[in-house]
Amino acid sequence: MPSASAVFFRQVKDNQMKKYEEYLSEEQLAGIRGKRAMRMEMARQSLVYFAHIYFPEYFAYETAPFQHEMYRLLENGDIKHLGMVAFRGGGKSTIVSTLYPIWAVLGRLQKRYVLIASQTQAQAQQHLKNIKREFETNELLRKDFGSLEEMSDEWANTSFVLTEFDARLSAVSSEQSIRGTRHGAHRPDLVIADDVEDLNSVKTSTGREKTYDWYTSEVLPIGDRQTKFVLIGNLLHVDSLMMRMKAYTIQANSPDFIFKEYPLVDEDGVCLWPGKYPDAASLAKERAAAPSEQAWYREYLLKILPDDRQIVKPDDIWYYERIPEHLNGGSYKAAISVDLAISQRTTADFTAIVTMEKHGTGADAAIYIHPGPLNKRNTYSDTVDDICDLKLAFPSADIYIEDVGMQRSIIEMFDMKNIRAEAVPIGGRDKQERLQVASYWIKNGTVLFPANGCEKLLEQIIGFGVERDDLLDAFTLGVIHLMEQKQSEGSASFGRSNFWNRRSGDPIIFY
């Protein structure tokens, strides 16, 4: 005959399939806390009940529907990769990095090696301190599940071992190598990555690649087929690790990959946590407390807004579906614009070559940027070869090279090859001034980009000040020179029906 606690749990488990508001009340939970066998059985089977039975002090407000969904996703052992972003103050770190690791060991998942990864060692250690504090101060938890033992390991991380469960909880950071880590025969079977990137680390493509490489080459390989990976954080950049996981989850279209976003207010204007924010006044108060408008959108609404200091923003970019044939007798110019860097040292700048062509003059002018600009570390001879190859592909194109320093020497090399290269003065303008000038023609749709093939160039234009600027320099050199040089006789007019701006929808791809 089944025990009373087993029968009761089956009823509770059935309740979990009903509406969220049908979960047990605090009064019912208080009664269960006084019955050891019942509370332990419920706690082992359900993360949400484990949290409310043993950690009632964490719940000042009624648990929101989105939080119940988080609990269920965390409980689900069939999900191998789970990504979650939630608004600031939504409880994701408390649930995922404090309560969940404990339950994953003590509860029905029976994890034996839980690894918590953060950006810095201090952050990782803080997560373990929070867990340790619960085992030291939570009498009900210790009474039911025993104590833990602190240890140091070969990676100089602090680890906790629950001897009665032969389970270990460890903290690591992106500053460490974690290859080969084990707990006895167990590889990590639950890996939680919490806030492994911040605003500084996502500022540059170099920083974003560093985080992505660490996660994919250090974190993911340490598990096995039974390991569950949970990644939580904020949406800090369109190319951040979180955004890449989101994109991959959509592409994979597999139950093994789940990605969830929980903004404070959804697209329909509905607040996701009515228990904490019952009315418009409480939401307005929270918004007023946000450090800035950008922080409000980024951290509460999970929307990434461009920096006010940006000269060119994503919505300023215009696209073309195809480059039209230039008209005989009309004004036409093609250019191979070069920003030279002669070195293959890993710290050297990249040589950048952007090809473009200009059709028409005055108000009818349109500059089409060709896809696939070159951007790499080159030797002197490699650069000459690359430019010569482009000249063969675009024989009518002029070669523009900045009239400064050693870049003049490459012009002499082209003279020896009977190839004309033009030294273009920049008129004392610095990088920012040159982008400011070029931005006028970007924003009014004179400069047009292909739908695909110029991602790195656009990244540098939009991210000026934090991204590399090799392609940007070659781009502004060519655009400004084409627009400011004396116009040739004749004109050609092209309609704008084949041009798209992000405000009016995604461009059509014809390549």
pLDDT tens digits for range 48-84:
999 999 998 999 999 999 999 999 999 999 999 999 9
- pLDDT score for 39: 87
107 found inside a domain: yes
349 and 248 within one domain: no
501 touches 508 (CB < 8 A):
no
Report CA 127 to chain centroid distance, whole Å: 22
455-509, pLDDT tens digit by residue? Answer: 889 988 987 876 778 999 999 999 999 998 754 433 333 444 456 665 444 443 3
201 found inside a domain: yes
pLDDT(141) > 80: yes
- Name the token pair of 167: 């389970």
370-385, pLDDT tens digit by residue? Answer: 999 999 888 878 888 8
151-189, pLDDT tens digit by residue? Answer: 554 444 467 888 888 888 888 888 777 776 777 778 899
334 found inside a domain: yes
- pLDDT score for 166: 86
Section 16-33 average pLDDT: 58
What are the residues whose beta carbons fall under 8 Å from the beta carbon of 287, sequence distance 6 or more?
296, 300
User: For the chain, how many structural domains are there in total?
Assistant: 2
According to DSSP, the residues that pair with 229 across neighbouring strands are 81, 191
pTM score of the predicted model: 0.63
245 found inside a domain: yes
Q: What are phi and psi of 223, to 5 degrees?
A: -90, -170
Radius of gyration (Cα) for the chain, nearest Å? 29
| Measured CA angle at 479 (ends 476, 485), to 5 deg | 125
89 and 225 within one domain: yes
90-131, pLDDT tens digit by residue? Answer: 999 999 999 999 999 999 999 999 999 988 888 888 888 888
Section 293-315 average pLDDT: 79
Helix axes 455-462, 470-484, angle to 10 degrees: 90
- pLDDT score for 353: 95
- pLDDT score for 73: 96
CA distance 305 to 284: 20
392 and 243 within one domain: no
pLDDT(6) > 70: no
CA distance 498 to 496: 5
480 and 341 within one domain: yes
Report CA 271 to chain centroid distance, whole Å: 25
- pLDDT score for 505: 46
Residue 271 exposure: Cα atoms within 13 Å on the Cβ side = 15
pLDDT(351) > 70: yes
CA distance 82 to 112: 19
Report the mean per-residue pLDDT for the chain. 82
Section 214-225 average pLDDT: 88
- Work out the pLDDT band at 350, boundaries 50, 70, 90: confident
pLDDT(239) > 90: no
246 found inside a domain: yes
Q: What are phi and psi of 328, to 5 degrees?
A: -60, 130
328 and 207 within one domain: no
91 found inside a domain: yes
Among 219, 240, 262, the domain-final residue is: 262
402-461, pLDDT tens digit by residue? Answer: 877 666 677 777 877 788 888 888 777 889 899 999 999 999 999 999 999 998 899 889
240-265, pLDDT tens digit by residue? Answer: 999 999 988 988 889 999 999 999 99
Pick the more confident residue, 267 or 479: 479
Helix, strand, or coil (residue 432): helix
* Residue from 368, 361, 392 nearest 450 by CA: 368
- Name the token pair of 400: 């523009």
- pLDDT score for 16: 41
Domain span including residue 238: 59-262
- pLDDT score for 305: 64
- pLDDT score for 3: 43
- Work out the pLDDT band at 193, boundaries 50, 70, 90: very high
CATH number of the domain to which 256 belongs: 3.40.50.300
pLDDT(2) > 70: no
431 found inside a domain: yes
Among 225, 247, 262, the domain-final residue is: 262
- Name the token pair of 473: 């320099």
192 and 72 within one domain: yes
333 and 257 within one domain: no
Largest distance between two CA atoms of the chain: 99
pLDDT(306) > 60: no
CA distance 227 to 191: 7
CA distance 173 to 264: 29
The DSSP letter of residue 80 is: S
Helix, strand, or coil (residue 70): helix
339 and 251 within one domain: no
196 touches 176 (CB < 8 A):
no
324 and 197 within one domain: no
165 and 246 within one domain: yes
180 found inside a domain: yes
DSSP per residue, 103-163? HHHHSTT--SEEEEEESSHHHHHHHHHHHHHHHHH-HHHHHHH---EEEE-TTS-EEEEEG
Section 215-244 average pLDDT: 89
341 and 258 within one domain: no
From the number of C-beta atoms within 10 Å of its C-beta (0-12, 13-18, 19+), residue 122 rates as: exposed
Amino acid of residue 125: Q
Helices in 265-379 by DSSP H: which ranges? Answer: 280-289, 293-295
> How far is CA 196 from each of CA 250, 397, 414, rounded to the nearest angstrom?
22, 46, 49
222 and 92 within one domain: yes
- pLDDT score for 378: 81
CATH number of the domain to which 370 belongs: 3.30.420.240
Q: How are beta strands 149-152 and 158-162 bridged, if at all?
A: antiparallel
Q: What are phi and psi of 318, to 5 degrees?
A: -110, 145
Among 262, 283, 306, the domain-final residue is: 262
- pLDDT score for 504: 45
- pLDDT score for 308: 59
